[in-house]
Amino acid sequence: MTTDPVPAAEPGPATAPVPAAGPVVRYERNGPVATVTMNRPEYRNAQNSRMTYALDDAFGEAAADDGVKVIVLAGAGEHFSSGHDIGTPERDAHRPFARRAGLWWDHSDKAGAEQRFARESEVYLGMCRRWRELPKPLIARVQGACVAGGLMLAWVCDLIVASEDAFFADPVVRMGIPGVEYFAHPWVMPPRVAKEFLYTGDRMSARRAHEIGMVNHVVPRGELVDRTTALAERVARMPRLGLALAKRAVNQAEDLQGLHAGLDAAFGLHHLAHAHNAETASDPLGGMDVRAMKDA
């Protein structure tokens, strides 16, 4: 394990060319398999609100298309996702957006905890719950970094296929915050492993993630696309309703094991930490910007 998590969304140097404008999420369908690809590789697929709603559009399209049986969630480039966008030029956390995950009011003209709670209830916890309930199997195809907010995207998927170079980390305890907003840690890994994962912020290798049951398969990087597609196509041979009901049965079991209530409880602690930071430090991230996280 190393102690240098990939920082979320580092802006490029001032001289870097402006990346070509393109969709932040790509959607492709090949037979019964839809592939939804996060497409901000220049920022390690850091998730801004624009990407969040583009993901939601893509999942909505896949859910509505009777020809789609299985959905693969992927990240373009070297990394699956470096987490939430805390520092790219297209960071849009303070802009308004049309809410879809719940009926919280517009955060953008509010202040303090009201602003943060409304926003994160929608774009982080709410959206993750919404996607977890998508009634078709969702498979994460993970390479490189899957860090902080990136974990949330992988964890809402039903299956995870990782390449040998993939790694997982939640370093936000460095910000004084007890983990990312979708606090599934003690459900996707044993509690003692979850504590070490949080206490150290260290990277967990794909092999270790497989050993503890957090990912389904670890494959060579060069085989990641083909192996994930093969698994998706195999799952796609099952009947649609059978898959939807099996997914729901397992999700319900996780909720009976406390996942739903646990997420709400941890979300409250998460916002206590944001509020503490806002009161005592320079900002709700405890002064830990992209550079500081990289240096830590």
Q: Rounded distance, CA 89 to CA 42, Å?
A: 11
Neighbour-count burial for 269-287, b at 16+ CB within 10 Å, e otherwise? ebbebbeebbeeeeebbbe
Going residue by residue from 193 to 232, which x/- string records binding to Zn ion, judged by CB under 5 A?
----------------------------------------
Q: Closest distance between Zn ion and the C-beta of residue 123, in Å?
A: 10
Structure tokens at 149: 């907010």
The nearest distance, CB 278 to Zn ion, in angstroms, is 11
Whose Cβ is closer to Zn ion: residue 120's or residue 202's?
Answer: 120
Specify the residue, 85 or 120, whose C-beta has the smaller distance to Zn ion. Answer: 120
For Zn ion, which is the closer residue by CB, 120 or 158? 120
| Residue among 105, 280, 41 at smallest CA distance from 272 | 280
CB of 181 to Zn ion, least distance (A): 5
For β-strands 167-169 and 70-75, DSSP reports them as unpaired
Q: Would you say 168 or 182 has its CB closer to Zn ion?
A: 182
Output the smallest distance, CB 239 to Zn ion, in A: 39
Give residue 83's region: left, alpha or beta (phi > 0; psi -120 to 50).
left
Residues 100-129 that bind Zn ion (CB under 5 A): 120
Query: And the tokens for 157?
Result: 């998927």
Report the residue number, 120 or 170, with the smaller CB distance to Zn ion.
120
List residues binding Zn ion (CB under 5 A). Answer: 120
